[in-house]
Structure 1
Amino acid sequence: MLISSIDWEDVHPTNQYAAEIVSGLRLSCQMEWLACKRHLDDLKRQATADFPYVFDESRADRIFEWFERCCRHVRGPFSGQLIQLLAFQKFDLGSVFGWVHMHSGKRRFRKAFHLRARGNVKSTEMSGVALYGMCGDCVYPPEAPHQKRYEDMPEVECAAVDKGQAKRVWGDAQEMGKKSPDILKRLRIKKTYIEHSKRGGWLRPLSKETKNKDSGAPCIVIIDEYHAHPSSEILDVLQSGFGKRLQSLMMIISTAGKDAENSPCKKEYDTLCKMMVGERPMDDSYYVMIREIEKDDDPHDESIWPKANPILQSDDEYAQTLLHEIRAEHDEAYNSGDPDKIREWLIKRVNRWQADSENKYMSGIMDKWKAHGISRDAFLTLVRGRDTWAGLDLSKTTDLTADANVFKLDDGRYAVTAHGFMPEESATKHEHSDRVPYKAWASDGWCTLTEGAVTDYRYIKGHMQETEQNEQWNVLEVCYDPYNATHFTQELETEGYQCVEIRQGVQTLSEPTKFFRNLVLKGLIVHDGSPLLTWCLSNAIEITDNNGNIKLSKKHKDDSQRIDLISALINAIVRAMYMTGDTVDTSEFAEEEFLKELWG
């Protein structure tokens, strides 16, 4: 049957929206299309042995009715009016609350990830969900799956990176509750707390400053603006309490953000994108809705803005106001030529992830670096028996330090690897300050934790000699930063190594640093996928002098975002370039390709 001939009055709004997206009647990005296709495919296989879930329209309708009969707008042109859910909201809410287990009646989805641009009523929607968790959410006990009951002592957490942001959804929920007679008669809404008048519990804001974050048993958790969280700590703590309720639900909402290597939101986004395209197994308990402009989309084209701004597909006053605001901010950002304003507009208004600093060495091209990684076993096979330049970066004895190896392959590519070292007694402290898992990386073989409170350089020499012997490498030179290295390199020379001091000024480092980036851009590099090396590379800041020379640095000398492994690699590349006669590609291609990757 042609979709145009369907009698939509007989089709549930959730299913209708999915059909319109999949058929192309509504504009969408790939991720939204895949989410809708997933819903339609699940409808075909529901209530089977392999997929014991059903789409219960009455459960979806229940959340719709909650919004449209009880919840009122708290700001904007519709302030005070009952909320009328838009088509995209009925799909999202209908999916999350409508899919249930065929036997127990419990909700199918335990987590939901919502990514959409600023101005698309995320906070208003989540405020209504929070109030629903306090007043209207029902559980269906296994012993009586058709007899709903309300949660005793409902607990709803509105979590964010700081106290002010956490109070955004909570404050909207507070105001929404005050404006609704139906909600107000069920809840006690005070200046500093919200609780159910009969069943107790709480609806509270929560951030890293909140004490006793792990003391509850949440029914519903809302993680607001996840892109701003430096770690997944709050999410992990709250999810640890999920076993205490029959159908706990976590709603993660955000815009895009800055593509920092240690951003938990970006990692979640990347993982979920791979899941949706079939590169990872599908998690049937995780709802994913990502609305964004795509990599090949022209951000100046207004016709594609609704991909990230679904509200623009409606024709009401708010949609027109939002369009006008997005257009005005676009013109202001691009007319100013200010990179910060352009990046902010791309992040907030069209959901395009951006490198986390305009002067990051690898801004916009970290995905290219990652694509050149192969397995460790395959890497060792590739470089076994070859000549190598070794690089050293010997930092303070209580910090991360590194050795590295660079190989020139027969096909013209370069193969690179690096290994980190850190005192075992410092690892726990640095895991907290750097927000990276040094102990797990050590367990996986990407770094070594040395005994005691300071780095024992004998471990570095041992690692160099062990890999040289096991992999039959021929170390041509050991290339070192002279800082802290005099005694250690003298020891290496007594054992027969040829050591070459690498001065750390731009005159020495600029050409090799540019050369390394060009190798990444042109696909002429291969590495072993070290997450520690990748992290260091993503942290490196590019410092430029008046003559266009560059060198790498941290943001400031005490910064916890370390770059030691890439520093060791660059030291080795200095001599590799010299001995092979390779030079930096100064053609327009390299610069244009880099700018294209940076700005899209």
Structure 2
Amino acid sequence: MTNRYIDAAERYARDVLSAAVPACKWTRLAVERQQADLLRECGPDWPYVFDHERAARPCEFLELLPHIKGKWAREGRLIELEDWQCWIVTTVFGWVHAETRLRRFREGYVEVPRKNAKSTLSSGLALYMLSADGEHGAEVYSAATTRDQARIVFDDSKAMALRLPGLRDHLGVAVMQHSITVAHTASSYRPLAAEGSTLDGLNVHFAVIDELHAHKTRAVYDVIDTARGAREQALLWNITTAGTDISGICYERRTHVTKVLQGVVLDPATFGVVYTIDSGDDPQDPTCWAKANPNYGKSVLEDDMIAAARKAATMPSALNNFLTKRLNVWVNGESAWLDMRSWDGVAQPGLTTDQIPAGTPVWMGLDLAQKKDFAALAIVWQRAGMWHVCIRLYLNEFAVKESPNAYLSGWAREGHVTVTDGNVTDFDVIAADMRTLCRQHDVQEIAYDPALSAYFAGKLVEEGLPLVEIQQRAMFFTQPVLQVENLVLEKKLRHDANPAMAWMVSNTVVKVSKFNELRHPTKEREENKIDGVLAMFMALGRALSPQAKTESVYETRGMRFL
């Protein structure tokens, strides 16, 4: 059985997937995720069901609330949810555990430009979670770094409650200056700011963190996040526009959400959607604006967007504001190097070095680290016009235990990462693998960075292994970055589908010099490892260079392994 809110959500999903509604890559992926989940059968691996009644209930509540700002407030109109809002709310609230009936989603992340009714939606949801979610002793917060910011959503909720007598008469909602309460359930709703407030002792049922991008530290997020542990179905609601601080908590959560949407990270408890323009879109092109602004033509007015775009085009100082606030583009964030769907599209599970034909030239790239980073060995070869890549990753057991990546121990058990004893990665294990590969195959070169491995490499050179020094600088990386990207997009590369390597690919961003267009792969955070990608670039960089040898270096040196 459906109702108009479910119908609206389904209509929005169809329109996005058919391109009837303009949508960026991240919005499409979010819709595709929901559609795929709806097709899954409930079972041990998927214990969730979609409850239409639970999905529609908060929508019904929201449409009882009045507008409190602007023209619609003057006209005394109630909130009318757009299709995209129905899709978000029904998705977040509709999924429940089949047995416990508790909500699936514990965290939501909605990134959307200003004037798309962010605060209105969040204020209404806060009132719903306070008074109509069935939670006794509910603690609801509008959280921010400053008191003024924390009161934005709270004051909107307060104004809604004051204009709707039914909340007081039927649900027992009492509105005070600094709190909203429901006495018969001992529930309360307050603004919460880091400045001058104790953030200890919270027992959060629902918290709105508005404009998460403005948080210069992660303190508020972390306190709210950890204060949900005692609640069975607490919900942390992050809603924000894009910003400029790629080292902050907002960009961290955004990155996590995009990896969930791409299938790189499995996190069924997190909902996320990002409304922005696509890479390559012209910010001055009006046909792109609706991608970033789902309320385009409603609360986001065309004339206002045109005026803002003109200002951005004529005043460089206004450009970043237009990009972040109107189009939801992170202006200081580097672009992800590769679309993960493209990387997944050239996977060849089961590919191993045992499949290298006898006499085929092979190149290797070596990126070494002893403590917290991975050591990585990339093995590449060409066959029938197709480049093949196998990755071997090494990490010590202490680093595996301390890693914030919850998947790492599983990757180790499955053999995707070789774990060495102790708190320092054992280079002897790597050296043994390299010797074996050189005995078995026609290895042309082993590219390595001498910065961390001069002594190690020197010993192997003395044994006759064909190591070649590569400085990990933009001058070397520019061509491999472009070449590997083209190989992937043209489907002329196959890799062994190592999930740890896929994670590293998703972590890789490429900085482009403004002066000479040189490219350098990097990571945005220390925990975002990219060692396997660097090893691949070194191996393929040498293999694809004009000086790449086609005959065995052992033949030219008169060497052979016993």
Amino acid at match of 2:120: T
Correspondence for 2:535: 568
Mapped contact 2:59–2:86 kept (Cα < 8 A): no
Worse-matched range after superposition: 302-311 or 24-33: 24-33
CA contact (8 A) 1:214 1:241 kept: no
RMSD over aligned Cα, in angstroms? 5.5
The residue aligned with 2:311 is 332
Q: Which residue of 2 aligns with 1:202?
A: 188
Instruction: Note the C-alpha offset of 1:65.
Output: 5.5
Give the distance between the partners of 1:413 and 1:19, measured in 2 at CA: 42
Q: CA deviation at 1:325?
A: 3.3
2:368 is matched with 394
Q: Distance in 2 between matches of 1:511 and 1:136?
A: 58
Matches of 1:411 and 1:381, distance apart in 2: 17
For 1:162 and 1:421, locate their aligned partners in 2 and report how far apart those are by CA, in whole Å.
44
Aligned with 2:333: secondary structure? coil
What's the counterpart of residue 333 of structure 2?
357
- Equivalent residue for 2:157, pick from 155, 165, 173: 173
Q: Which TM-score applies when normalising by structure 1?
A: 0.65
How far is the alpha carbon of 1:110 from its aligned partner? Answer: 5.0
1:14 aligns with 2:5: yes
CA shift digits 1:253-273 (9 cap, x unpaired)? 455789989954455456558
Structure 1 residue 533 displacement after superposition: 3.8
Structure 2 partner of 1:63? 61
Contiguous gaps of at least 5 residues in structure 2: 39-47, 551-562
Closer, same or farther: CA 534–26 of 1 in aligned 2, 3 Å: closer
Matched, 1:410 2:383: yes
Aligned mates of 1:23, 1:573 — CA distance in 2 = 42
Structure 1 residues 274 and 207: alpha-carbon distance in aligned structure 2, compared to 1, 3 A threshold: farther
Q: 1:567 to 1:77 in 2, by over 3 A?
A: same
Segment drifting more, 406-415 vs 261-270: 261-270
Tell me the equivalent position of 1:132.
128
CA separation of 1:327 and 1:473: change in aligned 2, threshold 3 A: farther
Overall identity of the aligned pairs, in %? 23
Check whether the contact 2:395–2:418 (CA below 8 A) recurs between aligned residues: yes
AA of the residue aligned to 1:451: D
Match of 1:488 among 456, 464, 467: 456
Could you say if the C-alpha distance between residues 95 and 551 of structure 1 is closer, same or farther in structure 2, counting changes exceeding 3 Å?
closer
In the alignment, the residues of structure 2 paired with residue 58 and residue 487 of structure 1 have an alpha-carbon distance, to the nearest angstrom, of 65
Match of 2:114? 118
Per the TM alignment, residue 544 of structure 1 is displaced from its structure 2 partner at its CA by 4.0
Unaligned regions of 5+ residues in structure 1, if any? 1-10, 43-49, 139-150, 583-600
Q: Deviations over 1:535-567 (max 9, x none)?
A: 545445436496555554567xx9555543333
Distance 1:554 1:19, change over 3 A: closer
Q: 2:487 pairs with 498, 507, 519, which one?
A: 519
Distance 1:250 1:86 in 2: 24
- Change in Cα spacing, 1:157 to 1:543, as seen in structure 2 (3 Å) is same
Note the C-alpha offset of 1:109: 7.1
Q: Give the direction of change, closer, same or farther, for the CA distance of 1:228–1:369 in structure 2 (3 Å limit).
A: farther
Q: What's the CA shift string for 1:552-587, capped at 9, x where partnerless?
A: 4567xx9555543333333333432255479xxxxx
Residue number among 423, 427, 431 corresponding to 1:457 in the alignment: 427
**Cα 1:374–1:212, aligned 2, differ >3 Å: closer, same or farther?**
farther
Q: C-alpha displacement at 1:158, in angstroms?
A: 4.3
Q: Compute the displacement of 1:491 (Å).
A: 2.6
Per-residue deviation at 1:493? Answer: 3.2
Please give the alpha-carbon distance, in whole angstroms, between the structure 2 residues aligned to 1:295 and 1:508: 25
Matched, 1:153 2:137: yes
Give SS of 2:347's match. coil
Quick check: 1:421–1:450 contact (8 Å CA) kept in 2?
Answer: yes
Q: In structure 2, the residue corresponding to 1:156 is in which secondary structure?
A: strand
Q: Provide the rounded CA distance (Å) in 1 between the counterparts of 2:149 and 2:399.
A: 33
* Alpha-carbon shift at residue 125 of structure 1 (Å): 1.6
Does the alignment pair 1:28 with 2:15? Answer: no
| TM score, norm. by length of structure 2 | 0.68
For residues 371 and 493 of structure 1, the distance between their equivalents in structure 2, rounded to whole angstroms, comes to: 37
After superposition, give the CA deviation of every residue in 1:291-350 in whole Å (9 maximum; x if it has no partner).
666789876553564454343344xxx554xx3332233333455679x946x7556535
The CA deviation string for residues 61-87 of structure 1, in whole angstroms up to 9 with x for no partner, is 85146413xxx52x5555687552124
Which string of whole-angstrom CA distances, capped at 9 and with x for unpartnered residues, describes residues 192-236 of structure 1? Answer: x55434432332567999988896362x45465678899997897
The alpha-carbon deviation at position 466 of structure 1 amounts to: 6.0
- Contact kept? 2:12, 2:87, Cα under 8 Å: no
- 8 Å CA contact retained: 1:156, 1:203: yes
SS state of the match for residue 378, structure 1? coil
How far apart, in 1, do the equivalents of 2:423 and 2:132 lie?
55
Aligned length: 516
Deviation for aligned residue 1:126: 1.2
